[in-house]
Structure 1
């Protein structure tokens, strides 16, 4: 059982393969979640080509997607969410955070979009 109610659904769109070779496929998977809309300041870390170390930047997240335990999500995925007004929003992840309990087991995956 999830630590917070997961009464909403988000669709994870994962694209694999190469568009130029004609091997590109798209997988659409519905995931139970909780979406919290609202701006939040998020710190991301990236590695750029020809630089030493990791560069950090602060960006504003429009929403947070809470998924139960360790969810199969990646930074290359896209997320589609239809809110209560029937408006469909498409987001790309900014960063993914895994919350763990004292024993190290994953309890929650948070995707900042």
Structure 2
């Protein structure tokens, strides 16, 4: 049983090494997950002559995929997630973290995309 409820699914596409004809085998599998996404607005300000002015703004989108126990995922995998509205998005991982419990076993795999 997972620490947190895993009510969503993510399809993972893993491409293998190409053979001598240049065809790479593709492995697809589906895992249960918890998908958390969000956006934030970052502003760069500069202070000159006692007044602050906004020089640039950008919106940064970030998402985390929580998987149960030690999930077999790699940084080279592609994550295909379909949200509740039916929109499918492709994510490439930035980092993979393993959360280890007190007994030394992995309880949660967190993929930052």
Q: What is the TM-score normalised by the length of structure 2? A: 0.77
Shift in Å, 1:39: 4.2
In terms of Rg, which structure is larger?
2
The list of structure 1 runs, each at least 4 consecutive aligned residues, that deviate by more than 6 angstroms after superposition, is none
Paired residue total = 94
Cα distance in 1 between the residues matched to 2:82 and 2:96: 21
Gaps of 5+ in 1: 41-59
Alignment gaps of 5+ in structure 2:
41-59
Q: Does 1:17 align with 2:17?
A: yes
1:6 counterpart residue number: 6
Does the 8 Å CA contact 1:61/1:94 hold for their aligned counterparts? no
CA distance in 2, matches of 1:80, 1:19: 25
Distance in 1, matches of 2:94 and 2:85, equals: 25
- Name the stretch that deviates more: 16-25 or 61-70: 16-25
Match of 1:111 in 2: 111
RMSD over equivalenced CA pairs, Å: 1.8
**Structure 1 residues 76 and 61, CA gap change in structure 2 (3 angstroms):** farther
Tell me the equivalent position of 1:88: 88
TM-score (norm: length of structure 1): 0.77
